[in-house]
Chain A
Amino acid sequence: MSDTTIEPPAAPEPEAAETAAPDEVIPAGYDDGQDHIGLVHHTTTGLSNTKLAMWLFLGSECLLFGGLISTYMLYRNRQGDALGPDQLWDIPFTSATSFVLLMSSLTMVLAVSAAKRTDERGTRLWLTVTALLGGLFLAGQVYEFTVFYREGLGYTTSLFSSSFFTLTGFHGVHVAVGIIMLLSLVGMLAKGRIVGDKAETVEMVGLYWHFVDVVWIVIFTLVYLVPA
Chain B
Amino acid sequence: MSSDTELSSTTGDTAETHGADDLHHHEISDKTYVLIALLLAVLTAMEVAVTEISSVPDGLLIPALLIMMVIKFFIVVSYFMHLKHDSALFKFGFYVGLGGAIVLYSVMLTTFHFFLN
Contact = CB atoms under 8 A, between A and B. Distances in A.
A98 B72 CA distance: 12
Interface string A75-116: 000000000000000011001001100110110111001011
Contacts of B89: 45, 47, 52
Contacts of A5: none
Contacts of A115: 7
A142 to B, nearest CB: 22
Given A63-B100, A214-B73, A99 B44 contact: yes
A58 B94 contact: yes
Given A106-B34, A120-B5, A192-B2, A46 B16 contact: yes
A225 B97 contact: no
A191 B97 contact: no
Contacts of B2: 192
A217 B80 contact: no
Contacts of B68: 221
Interface in B61-116: 61-62, 65-66, 68-69, 72-73, 76-77, 80-81, 87, 89-90, 93-98, 100-102, 104-105, 108-109, 112, 114
Interface string A53-72: 00110111111011101100
B93 A52 contact: yes
Given A52-B90, A102-B41, A102-B44, A225 B76 contact: no
Contact of A98 (B6, B17, B44, B73): B44
Contacts of B55: none
A59 B37 contact: no
B6 A66 contact: no
Interface range on chain B (Cβ under 8 Å from partner): 35 or more
A206 B33 CA distance: 14
B69 A217 contact: yes
Interface stretch (A144-152, A153-161, A174-182, A194-202): A194-202
Contacts of A20: 12
A28 interface: yes
Given A99-B41, A213-B76, A59 B97 contact: yes
B65 A62 contact: no
Interface in A169-228: 189-192, 196-200, 206-207, 210-211, 213-214, 217-218, 220-222, 225-227
Contacts of A58: 93-94, 97
B33 A221 contact: no
Interface of A: 16, 20, 26-32, 34, 41-43, 45-48, 51-52, 55-56, 58-63, 65-67, 69-70, 73-74, 91-92, 95, 98-99, 102-103, 105-106, 108-110, 113, 115-116, 118-121, 123, 189-192, 196-200, 206-207, 210-211, 213-214, 217-218, 220-222, 225-227
24 contacts: A29-B16, A32-B12, A47-B19, A47-B87, A47-B90, A48-B18, A48-B21, A62-B97, A62-B100, A63-B97, A102-B41, A106-B33, A109-B80, A115-B7, A119-B6, A120-B3, A197-B10, A198-B7, A198-B8, A200-B18, A210-B81, A217-B73, A217-B76, A225-B51
